[in-house]
A = this chain, B = another copy of it.
Amino acid sequence: MSIAKALPLLEADGHGPAPCCAPLAERPMTAEEAETAAPMFKALGDPVRLRLFSAVASHAGGEACVCDISDVGVSQPTVSHHLKKLKEAGLLTSERRGTWVYYRVEPSVLAAMGRLLAPPPTT
């Protein structure tokens, strides 16, 4: 199941992105919510993928192709493989232009993940 498809609530309120679920500390997550969110965390749970994701997210214009990313110490096919995994998790989108596939961060998904991690309210 594509996570991108599983996050229809991202624009549900008409006021831009909203998280798929309540913050983790607000109420116990349901099984369905956890099945939706876990693959996104898992995709970032690998050091090489985390660096590649950061390389794309911080690249000029907010997008990068494999040709822009060569300094993480893995081969180009491995870079391509990990970028595909990040895309499958809904964290990146991609577009082919000429020879290269360009990857772009999905800011609404990133914001939704960040909101999940909102610290518990101080009591």
Could you tell me which A residues sit within 8 Å of B by CB distance?
A: 24-31, 34-35, 37-39, 41-51, 53-55, 57-58, 61-62, 71-73, 105, 107, 110-111, 113-115, 117-120, 123
A45 touching B47 in the complex, CB below 8 Å, given contacts A28-B58, A54-B25, A110-B119: no
CB-based contact B28/A51 at 8 Å: yes
- State A113–B117 Cα separation when bound (angstroms): 7
This chain: how many copies in the complex? 2
A27 touching B58 in the complex, CB below 8 Å, given contacts A38-B45, A45-B45: yes
CB-based contact B120/A62 at 8 Å: yes
**Minimal beta-carbon separation of A29 from chain B (angstroms):** 4
